[in-house]
Amino acid sequence: MVDPNAPELLAALKTFANEIQEILNNGEQDAETGPIAAKQKQYMFLDLAVAKLLRTIGRPGAAEPFLSSADAWRDVTERKIQPRLFKVEKIDKHAPAKRGRKFDPTETQRIRAYLCVGIQYLIASGVKEDKAVKFVARNYKTQFQNLLLPKSDLVKSIKSWLEQFATYADTNVDALSIYKDGMGQLDEDKKSVGGDLRRYGENMIGATAFKAAQVIKV
C-alpha cells in the first residue's frame, strides 16, 4: 500500500485526474453521434480509471467492484447483451421464466479465464487434468456454481472451459487476453518457482473462487 504522503500517491492522483478529464472530454465529442451509447462507454472508462488508481495505491480488492461495473457497461455497449448487474429483479418469483438462450456476461467469462489459468498451474505441477478439475469442484463447488446455468454440471463445464481457452475458441476478447497473459506468466514461473507451481495454482483458484462468490446469481 502506498504511503499517504508518498510522491507516488500524488503522481497517481494527478494521472487519475488527467484521465478522468480526458474521458469526460471524449464523451462530450462522441455524444454528437450517439449520446446514450457514448455515455454508457464513458461510464465504463470511468470505472476502469478508478480501478486503475486503486490498484496503483495498493488496494486491488477495492478495485474489483469497479472492474465488474466496467464489464457490465462493456456488455451493454459492445456486446449488446444485458449483464447481471443491470438485470431487473423479478418481483413475482412464481411467475414463469422467460425462455431463450442466455449469453455469458464478460464478468463471468473473465472469472472462468482466471480459473482455467489456475488449473493449468496445477497441471504444470504434475497434477492430472481430471484430478485438478475435481479439486476445484470438491473445494469450491458453491462459489463456481454461480458461473453456471441452472442444472449444469460443474466438472463438465470446467472441462469445456479449459478446452475453449486452450484452443482460443472463447469469443470474449477480454477473457482470452487474461488466459493468454496467464499462460505467458506460467511459462515464466516454470523457470523460476519450480515446485511452487501447485501452491501458486491453488492460491489462484482460491482467489478466483472468492470473485466467483461475488457474482450475482441469475
Q: Is 14 inside a domain boundary? A: yes
Are residues 81 and 121 located together in one domain of the fold?
no
Q: What is the DSSP letter of 167?
A: T
Residue 116 belongs to some domain of the structure: yes
Q: Strand, coil or helix: what is 103?
A: coil
Consecutive 10-residue averages of pLDDT for the chain (218 residues):
67 89 74 68 91 89 90 81 71 57 76 96 95 96 88 92 88 87 93 86 94 73
One domain for residues 137 and 43: no
* CA distances from residue 11 to 15, 19, 32, 53, 141 in whole angstroms, order as listed: 6, 12, 33, 10, 42
Domain of residue 204 covers 106-213
Q: Does 95 map to a domain?
A: no
C-alpha grid cell for residue 101? 438462450
Nearest-angstrom CA–CA distance, 65 and 135: 27
pTM of the full structure:
0.63
Distance (Å, rounded) from C-alpha 206 to C-alpha 213?
11
